[in-house]
């Protein structure tokens, strides 16, 4: 089950009878799972449930249609997804074959109402495969991903349906539509065209085949990354080799070893980034080297989780699909629908930042090398040394250790007195934790969120802790999205990968983990404040290079002095963070900016390099590493002590389907973010007036207007790039 597909030919699952595939998965479920509900982690009963027993076949009766996790079992997904697909296709056929002339109501609005069962089941399924997967769910995902891709093609390549949309699109100015309805018609028409609606029948068939294979490979890539990360933890035998790590961090490593049946040892689990938290404190250079090399060599050393063949095949298939649709490459196809517009504009931005960023990183490296030489280390700075010696530079320059912050970053203090406090001050919303709703994993926490007028705004789930069943990184997702048309209010989740402390001990966060809580809650606010009519525009349904803007803006409150003073309290004594330490934290905010910008730009460049290729220019599996190295060298981003934030083989943003040709979005959105931070500073900061204005003009509008129009509505002008350059220390290549 865990071996990569044969990439010498397209995968074959679609050629097998669907009922036979279902029986195969059912057999796996019977063999591998004990029949517990999902919150028990593995559960799946072997028998197929009746319609009355399957919770997806009816709307949840829990508040805001919150998913009934205690009733959901693995074997519910295939029947619900199958029936949901069949129902949606029946609904689509009814629209396409309607004998009445097309109207906005009988075509567009009816289309927006379709697929409720499928959406309900698939949103929960896709969330759980990321947040709390198991062998059975992974098997279902492999089967369902090409089927779901084919479902999308069956709808968007439906000729009669597109003919009705095109008829309405050509008459859009004569239909008397309000602004949101007119935009919906225009966006749906564009969605269909970009999905191949105008292709010949032969090209439609090829397009469908490409989408099916791409879906299979993206699923395999994603699963390989998660499984390799679990398998690649660094096992340390002697406690002395962990010198420099805090007692709490060592206890966490010891607990991880026990859970992996490595009693008496210590396990350092890997995050899905090139850098690893333990590199900051580990004094043993050989152990640091082991950790860093284990991290950057993931999924490219042979064996069942090697992703090099998948990377090459995905890049080629995406390039072929783009050509079929009339685009020079996959990046051009993706970027046409983003605020950036073209690969040339993205390339220009990355090139503008690359030189100054690497120059800054080299100056930072020189400061670290000076300490190594002063200590008579006798070695040149290597990637596994950077974090360790950067911390020494920080302590020397700002007279504080980053580890000194952790006692003041206890999880509940950050959550209630930081995250929620800032949101209440800005937007007037309030929070109440509830314990009566079921969850899929015992540590997940649930909150009611109330608007300033006391009405319920949303339900919010926080899933804090890392575990083997969870993919790496941090993200937000919606179980239920807001829609005036459907009468739904949001149920939103944030996911993190914070190391869980031993039972009974407090969860202490790094500064970056605290900032990530604010970042992901920015996505949640964007979704929860949505006030649109149509599902197509709900919440974060905006261009990819705009979706990170509100979340990055929300990060500002993590270090806003008033907020920081409110939550930064010692977890044992309750004493507030000393003013002197707080001042140092704020002064050091831009520290190590060269490293952070360079590692990010390197990953963005890798993403663009793969996706600006034509099919015949894509290297094979054996050429993946060389291609990546050459791309970095050409861009001037091949500074050895600073590896890319992600190498290709574990680059989920680029190859699992989420952000292909779109990783640049974070720096693109940061232009808007840095400008907006300056706006808040100029207008009084943390005030209800500012929060309500930001909510009204931008956060509540979803995708109902053009993204840059929303920014202009908020700021009254086009964005300035200067605040970003100042923040990153890139104003001039000093």
Q: What residues are labeled active site?
A: 520
Whether residue 664 contacts residue 607, with contact meaning beta carbons closer than 8 Å, is answered with yes
88 vs 118: CA distance, rounded Å: 7
577 vs 410: CA distance, rounded Å: 12
- Sheet hosting strand 456-465, strand order edge to edge: 430-434, 445-450, 456-465, 491-498, 475-480
Angle (CA) 538 540 545, round 5°: 140
Which residues lie closer than 8 Å to 116 by C-beta, 6 or more apart? 59, 486
**Displacement of CA 580 from its chain's centroid (Å):** 36
Q: In terms of DSSP H, where are the helices of 326-417?
A: 330-335, 343-374, 386-398, 411-412
SS3 at position 432? strand
DSSP bridge pairs for 465:
498
* Cβ atoms within 10 Å, residue 501: 17
Whether residue 465 contacts residue 131, with contact meaning beta carbons closer than 8 Å, is answered with no
* Cβ atoms within 10 Å, residue 300: 21
Q: Which is nearest to 180 in space by CA: 438, 478, 536?
A: 536
291 vs 294: CA distance, rounded Å: 5
Tell the burial category of 209 from Cβ atoms under 10 Å away from its Cβ (0-12, 13-18, 19+): middle
Angle (CA) 56 59 61, round 5°: 115
């Amino acid at each position: 089950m865990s071996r990569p597909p044969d990439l010498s030919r397209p995968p074959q699952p679609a050629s097998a009878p669907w009922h036979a595939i279902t029986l195969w998965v059912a057999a796996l479920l019977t063999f591998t799972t004990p029949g517990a509900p999902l919150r028990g982690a593995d559960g799946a009963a072997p028998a197929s449930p009746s319609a009355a027993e399957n919770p997806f076949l009816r709307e949840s009766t829990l508040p805001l249609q919150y998913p009934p996790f205690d009733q959901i079992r693995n074997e519910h997904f295939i029947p619900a997804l199958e029936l949901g697909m069949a129902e949606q296709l029946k609904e689509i056929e009814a629209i396409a074959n309607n004998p009445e002339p097309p109207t906005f109501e009988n075509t567009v609005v009816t289309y927006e109402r379709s697929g409720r069962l499928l959406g309900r089941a698939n949103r929960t399924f896709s969330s759980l495969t990321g947040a709390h997967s198991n062998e059975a769910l992974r098997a279902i995902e492999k089967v369902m991903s090409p089927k779901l891709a084919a479902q999308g093609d069956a709808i968007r390549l439906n000729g009669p349906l597109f003919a009705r949309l095109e008829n309405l699109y050509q008459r859009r100015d004569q239909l008397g539509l309000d602004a949101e309805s007119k935009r919906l018609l225009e966006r749906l028409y564009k969605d269909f065209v970009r999905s191949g609606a105008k292709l010949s029948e032969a090209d439609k068939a090829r397009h469908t085949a490409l989408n099916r294979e791409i879906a299979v490979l993206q699923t395999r890539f994603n699963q390989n990354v998660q499984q390799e990360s679990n398998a690649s933890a660094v096992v340390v035998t002697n406690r002395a080799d962990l010198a420099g790590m805090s007692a709490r961090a060592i206890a966490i490593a010891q607990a991880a070893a026990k859970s992996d049946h490595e009693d008496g040892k210590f396990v350092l689990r890997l995050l899905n980034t090139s850098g690893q938290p333990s590199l900051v404190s580990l004094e043993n250079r050989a152990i640091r080297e082991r950790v860093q090399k284990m991290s950057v060599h993931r999924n490219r050393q042979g064996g069942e989780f090697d992703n090099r063949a998948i990377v090459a095949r995905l890049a080629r298939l995406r390039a072929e699909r783009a050509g079929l649709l009339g685009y020079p490459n996959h990046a051009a196809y993706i970027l046409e629908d983003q605020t950036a517009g073209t690969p040339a504009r993205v390339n220009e931005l990355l090139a503008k930042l690359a030189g100054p960023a690497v120059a800054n990183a080299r100056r930072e490296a020189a400061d670290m090398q000076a300490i190594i030489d002063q200590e008579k280390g006798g070695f040149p700075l290597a990637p596994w040394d950077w974090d360790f010696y950067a911390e020494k530079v920080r302590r020397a320059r700002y007279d504080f250790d980053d580890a000194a912050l952790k006692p003041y970053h206890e999880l509940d203090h950050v959550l209630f007195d930081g995250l929620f406090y800032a949101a209440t001050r800005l937007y007037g919303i309030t929070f109440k934790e509830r314990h009566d709703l079921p969850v899929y994993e015992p540590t997940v926490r649930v909150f009611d969120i109330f608007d300033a007028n006391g009405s319920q705004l949303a339900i919010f789930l926080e899933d804090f802790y890392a575990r083997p069943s969870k993919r790496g990184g941090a993200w937000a997702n919606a179980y239920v999205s807001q829609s005036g048309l459907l009468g739904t209010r949001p149920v939103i989740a944030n996911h993190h990968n914070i190391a869980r402390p031993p039972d009974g001990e407090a969860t202490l966060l790094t500064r970056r983990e605290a900032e990530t809580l604010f970042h992901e809650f920015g996505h949640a606010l964007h979704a929860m404040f949505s006030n649109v009519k149509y599902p197509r525009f709900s919440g974060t349904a905006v261009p990819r290079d705009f979706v990170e803007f509100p979340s990055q803006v929300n990060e500002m409150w993590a270090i806003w002095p008033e907020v920081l003073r409110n939550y930064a309290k010692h977890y044992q004594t309750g004493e507030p963070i000393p003013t002197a330490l707080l001042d140092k934290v704020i002064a050091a905010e831009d520290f190590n900016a060269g490293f952070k910008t360079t590692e990010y730009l390197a990953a963005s460049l890798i993403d663009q390099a793969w996706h600006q290729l034509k099919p015949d220019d894509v290297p094979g599996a054996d050429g993946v590493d060389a291609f990546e190295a050459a791309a970095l060298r050409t861009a001037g981003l091949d500074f050895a002590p600073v590896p890319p934030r992600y190498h290709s083989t574990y680059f989920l943003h680029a190859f699992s389907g989420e952000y292909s040709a779109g990783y640049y979005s974070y720096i693109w959105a940061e232009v808007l973010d840095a400008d907006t931070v300056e706006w808040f500073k100029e207008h009084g900061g943390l005030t209800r007036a500012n929060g309500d204005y930001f909510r009204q003009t931008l956060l509540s509008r979803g995708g109902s207007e053009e993204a840059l129009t929303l920014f202009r509505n908020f700021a009254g002008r086009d964005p300035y790039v200067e605040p970003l350059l100042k923040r990153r220390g890139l104003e001039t290549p000093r």
